Amino acid sequence: MRKVLILVAALGFAGSAAAADIGLIKVAKGSVEIQRGASKLPAKVGTGVQISDVVVTGKDGSAGITFTDNSLVSVGPNSVFSVEKYSFDSTTHAGQFEGNLRQGRLAAVSGKMVKQSPESMKIRTPSAIMGVRGTEFVVQVDEPKR
Amino acid sequence: MLRLVALFLAAIVAAGCACKAPVTPALFVVVPSSDGHVGKIVVTHGAETRVIDKPWSGQRVTGDGTIEAAKDSEEEVRKAFGTTLSALPGRPTSFMLYFLEGKDELTPESREELDKVFAELKRRPLPDIVVIGHTDSVGGLTYNDKLSLARAERMREMMVGLGIPEERVQAAGRGKRELLVPTEDNISEPRNRRVEINVR
């Protein structure tokens, strides 16, 4: 039951903030694509990133994103990364960042919200969840064994 | 609605399978930042929680569903993450430049530093730049508001002149409202006559 409530709340949140950019593509090399709902857009330097966007890189692709709280995230080749939750109050620096690395590699530098409240930034992988208490870090997700 | 269904189904599948499903391996590594500062990450896999707080140390979730200390060396991590790390955008940073008393002209020292600052700004593919001008406490509010904005605008013009697109640079003046070195009113203080350049 609890799970359902959380999902509904998350959905409402994504809906209300759907149009706002929470970040900007600053680096795009090789094949980089943003899946937004049913559409796919090529990601170029200057493309805005929104909540629920999925960043997908090809085997020659990599991308770097800056978020409004100054967090930095980059993804390497053959990666699938999405931002499932994001909020940031530029006055109080309170916020929430929940990224999901389904495949590939990610590097990140935490921003103002983590400075304000540790573990407000989280990165999920299919098998684990990571809370950030302020640092640079890298994450890699491998193919599961068949 | 579709989204909700998909997520809910995913949750059921995950919850329903108490059998040994293949676990997707993952590796988490802490990297020291360029200033040498090392922070902390916390990895949770099932019921286990591990804290990583040393540079280049990591934890690995294996395909068998265990979590263990990663043995990867700094070189191995750098190699595996080379492309990824090099795609990280430039760190947000800020610069301070100082002005001659009552003028929107830089001090000789700051003029020398200018090239370095502008080179750093130009290195960024799509910079978000905010220039904030300040004054010392000599003179009235209106005078200092104007002077601080003139200082910021002067810097902005120079950046645009260097080829940074106009819409990427914002200029604002804070007058004598935000003294770097707190002083009484009407005190000449070189360190307060400054612009702050924030770039992301």
Specify the CATH number for the domain of residue B128: 3.30.1330.60
For residue A44, is it within any domain? Answer: yes
Residues 74-103 of A with CB under 8 A from B: 74-77, 79
A chain contacts of residue B11, beta-carbon cutoff 8 Å: 3, 7
pLDDT of residue A133: 86
Residues 6 or more apart whose Cβ sits within 8 Å of residue B26 = A125, A126, A127, A128, A139, A140, A141, A142, B60, B61
Same domain as B81, residue B105 = no
For residue B9, is it within any domain? Answer: no
pLDDT of residue B120: 86
Residue in A3, A134, A138 closest to B81 by CB? A138
Residues 6 or more apart whose Cβ sits within 8 Å of residue B179 = B134, B136, B137, B189, B192
A chain contacts of residue B33, beta-carbon cutoff 8 Å: 109, 135-136
pLDDT band at B21 (very low <50, low <70, confident <90, very high): low
Structural domain ending residue among the three candidates B86, B104, B130 = B86
Task: In whole angstroms, give the CA distance from residue A118 to residue B91.
Answer: 20
pLDDT of residue A145: 62
**High-pLDDT (> 90) share of chain B, %:** 65
Q: Which residue of A has its CA nearest to B93?
A: A70
The whole domain housing B78 covers 20-86
Of A112-126, A131-145, B117-131, B184-198, least confident by mean pLDDT is: A131-145
pLDDT of residue B165 exceeding 60, the answer is yes
- Per-residue pLDDT, averaged over B101-116, amounts to 94
- Over residues A10-41, the pLDDT tens digits come to 343 444 444 589 999 999 999 999 999 999 99
pLDDT band at A69 (very low <50, low <70, confident <90, very high): very high
Same domain as B63, residue B141 = no
pLDDT of residue B11: 31
Cα dihedral A69, A75, A80, A85 in deg (nearest 10): -10
For residue A146, is it within any domain? Answer: no
pLDDT of residue A142 exceeding 70, the answer is yes
Which of A5, A31, A139, A141 has the highest number of chain B CBs within 10 A, making it the mutation to test binding with B?
A: A139
Cβ <8 Å between B41 and A132: yes
For residue B62, is it within any domain? Answer: yes
pLDDT of residue B20: 57
Q: How many structural domains comprise chain A? A: 1
For residue B116, is it within any domain? Answer: yes
Same domain as B114, residue B44 = no
Task: Characterize B122-156 residue by residue with b for buried, 16 or more Cβ atoms within 10 angstroms of its Cβ, and e for exposed.
Answer: eebebbbbbbbbbbbbbbeeeebbbbbbbbbbbbb
How high does pLDDT run on average in chain A?
Answer: 85
Structural domain ending residue among the three candidates B56, B86, B116 = B86
Helix residue ranges, H only, chain B: 2-16, 74-80, 82-86, 108-122, 141-161
For residue B29, is it within any domain? Answer: yes
Per DSSP, B7 falls in state H
- Half-sphere exposure of A20 toward its Cβ, with a 13 Å CA cutoff? 12
Cβ <8 Å between B33 and A3: no
ipTM, 2 dp:
0.81
Instruction: Note whether A7 contacts B: Cβ–Cβ < 8 A.
Output: yes
For residue B14, is it within any domain? Answer: no
Structural domain ending residue among the three candidates B86, B109, B134 = B86
The whole domain housing A22 covers 2-141
Same domain as B167, residue B115 = yes
**High-pLDDT (> 70) share of chain A, %:** 84
Of A106-115, A136-145, B6-15, B44-53, least confident by mean pLDDT is: B6-15
- Report the SS3 class of residue B48: strand
How high does pLDDT run on average in chain B?
Answer: 86
Rounded to two decimals, what is the model's pTM?
0.72
pLDDT of residue B16: 37
Q: How many structural domains comprise chain B? A: 2
pLDDT of residue A55 exceeding 50, the answer is yes
**High-pLDDT (> 90) share of chain A, %:** 66
pLDDT of residue A134: 72
Residue in B8, B87, B91 closest to A109 by CB? B91
Cβ <8 Å between B22 and A63: no
Same domain as B98, residue B194 = yes
For residue B4, is it within any domain? Answer: no
For residue B73, is it within any domain? Answer: yes
Distances, alpha carbon B86 to alpha carbons A60, A74, A131, B90, B133, in Å? 13, 8, 23, 10, 33
